[in-house]
């Protein structure tokens, strides 16, 4: 009962939190259909398309989760000066996310992930087609991004890095942002990719998944003991306040300085689709920690775990509302 009241109290303060999300903005496009037969041209299924939609992906999905949970959020990143870039920006505005930090770059292809999902007999992703440009930003774009970040950092309670390895987050940009955020004593949350892993040294909380943590530490994952060895090694090397390794259906493990690893078991009833679950985790944790220093990493992770348990029960890139999260807290705590 006490834990439930504590988590409810944190959730109710989410609307006071202002966050800046910096990272790779993407479109998650889904085509749904039924398998009608095997193609005579190749041993592949023929899908009769029945519906198509697109959702905000990558850093935009992190921002969407934060907004859906009641927080105020601004998104900073780049889009291609193409039709898909315009569609994504329109959807971002529609969701109530601030767009002052989004810049269009001529000649860049907006990242689009297209998933073909068939009902046979249950929804199952059959293939994914990606369109993307992974080059670093042009010098003029980098100047615009840096100017925005330097001028606006004071307006937020914290910054969230959403790294999908699509070229935006260079070593120079990451370190510029971290130094600026530290000067202003802001919360720094990171969902990293292995390529940039150790550029995020000194962040507040870093949330890799098991595979990313294993690759970065060069320690293979065999069991929970190996996960704890990885966590302790990375926590020391990254010099962050906390490291949270997300482990899918096994929940997550929290590592903090001078404390024993802490397991947070999953609360998901059924796992249909893990797409975007990491975005939900970091968005929820950032909101929880953004409410003030009285909130522990463990409480923030517990809330994030409940939120992730909701999205993995949905098909496609999904978000969580504050009402959904409140309902699960009351059922499970």
Q: Which of 191, 273, 279, 299 is catalytic?
A: 279
Nearest to 30 by CA among 129, 121, 162, 132: 129
Cα–Cα distance between 188 and 174 in angstroms, integer?
11
Whether the upstream peptide bond of residue 121 has omega within 30° of 0, thus cis, is yes
Cα–Cα distance between 152 and 303 in angstroms, integer?
28
Contacts 24+ apart (CB under 8 A), 320-327: 320/65, 320/68, 320/69, 320/280, 320/284, 321/68, 321/69, 322/11, 322/14, 322/68, 322/69, 322/70, 325/11, 325/69, 325/284, 326/8, 326/11
Q: Are 27 and 10 in contact (CB under 8 A)?
A: no
10 Å CB burial of residue 146 (0-12, 13-18, 19+) is middle
To the query of whether residue 279 is one of the catalytic residues in this protein, the response is yes
Cα–Cα distance between 279 and 260 in angstroms, integer?
26
Q: Are 189 and 205 in contact (CB under 8 A)?
A: yes
Active site residue ranges: 279
């Amino acid at each position: 009962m006490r834990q439930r009241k504590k988590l409810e109290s944190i959730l109710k303060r989410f609307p006071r939190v202002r966050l800046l999300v910096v990272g790779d903005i993407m479109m998650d496009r889904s085509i749904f259909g039924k398998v009608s037969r095997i193609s005579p041209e190749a041993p592949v299924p023929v899908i009769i398309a029945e519906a198509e939609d697109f959702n905000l992906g990558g850093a935009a999905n992190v921002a969407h989760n934060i907004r859906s949970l009641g927080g105020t959020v601004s998104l900073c990143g780049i889009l291609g000066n193409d039709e898909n870039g315009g569609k994504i920006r329109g959807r971002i505005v529609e969701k109530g996310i601030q767009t002052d930090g989004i810049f269009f770059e001529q000649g860049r292809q907006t990242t689009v992930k297209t998933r073909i999902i068939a009902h046979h007999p249950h929804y199952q992703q059959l293939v994914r087609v990606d369109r993307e440009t992974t080059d670093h930003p042009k010098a003029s774009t980098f100047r615009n991004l840096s100017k925005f970040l330097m001028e606006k950092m004071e307006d937020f309670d914290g910054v969230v890095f959403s790294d999908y390895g699509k070229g935006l987050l260079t070593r120079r940009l990451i370190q510029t942002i971290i130094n600026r955020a530290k000067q202003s004593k802001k919360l720094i949350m990171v969902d990293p990719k292995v390529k940039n892993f150790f550029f995020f040294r000194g962040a507040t909380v870093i949330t890799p998944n098991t595979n990313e943590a294993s690759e970065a530490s060069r320690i293979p994952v065999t069991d929970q003991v190996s996960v704890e060895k990885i966590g302790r090694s990375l926590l020391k090397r990254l010099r962050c306040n906390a490291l949270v390794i997300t482990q899918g259906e096994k929940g997550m493990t929290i590592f903090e300085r001078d404390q024993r690893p802490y397991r947070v078991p999953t609360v998901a009833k059924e796992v249909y689709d893990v797409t975007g679950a990491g975005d939900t985790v970091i968005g929820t944790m950032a909101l929880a920690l953004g409410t003030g220093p009285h909130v522990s990493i463990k409480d923030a992770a517990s809330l994030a775990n409940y939120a992730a348990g909701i999205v993995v029960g949905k098909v496609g890139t999904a978000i969580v509302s504050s009402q959904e999260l409140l309902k699960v807290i009351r059922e499970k705590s």
